[in-house]
Structures are given as structure tokens and as C-alpha cells.
Amino acid sequence: MAKAKVPVATILDANDKELMAIRKIAGEDGNLVIRGKIFGAMPMVAKLTPAEARAALKLLDFRTFVFLLTLLFRR
């Protein structure tokens, strides 16, 4: 039986080169944990704490918030 393909989200730099391939996003110990590979080679685990998530939300203005909501429905 063939193994199911794992979905991957890619973060690109300004030149459309792959910075990070995200393989898993999950909640662990009260933090958001992002697992993936940087530059296609180095495994990485990034953690976002609740305090840092609140700080990140403060960076969003209304226009960017609306853009993020509509981004999910664009091609």
C-alpha cells in the first residue's frame, strides 16, 4: 500500500526561494509548535508561546487582518 503524501506549506523569501517547508503545526504544552525544514535540509522546531502570539497579533492592522481572511479563498 502506498504511503499517504504529507501536505507541506512553504514559506518563500523575496526571490521566491524556499526558506522553510512546514510539515506539521500542532499545539504542545500550551505553545504552537511548527516542525519543518529550513532551506530544504536542516530540520527545525519553532515554538510560539501565547505571549508571543499576542505580540504578533498587535502587528496586524485591520487591512492586513482582512487580507489574511481572504487569502484562504484565493488561488
- Residues of the chain where predicted confidence (pLDDT) is lower than 70: 1-2
What's the pLDDT at 4? Answer: 76
- Model's pTM, two decimal places? 0.76
Q: Which three cell numbers stand for residue 18?
A: 524556499
pLDDT single digits (tens) 10-25: 999 999 999 999 999 9
Q: Is residue 36 packed enough to be buried (19+ CB in 10 Å), middle (13-18) or exposed (0-12)?
A: buried
Q: Cα 69 to chain center, whole Å?
A: 15
Q: Cα 75 to chain center, whole Å?
A: 18
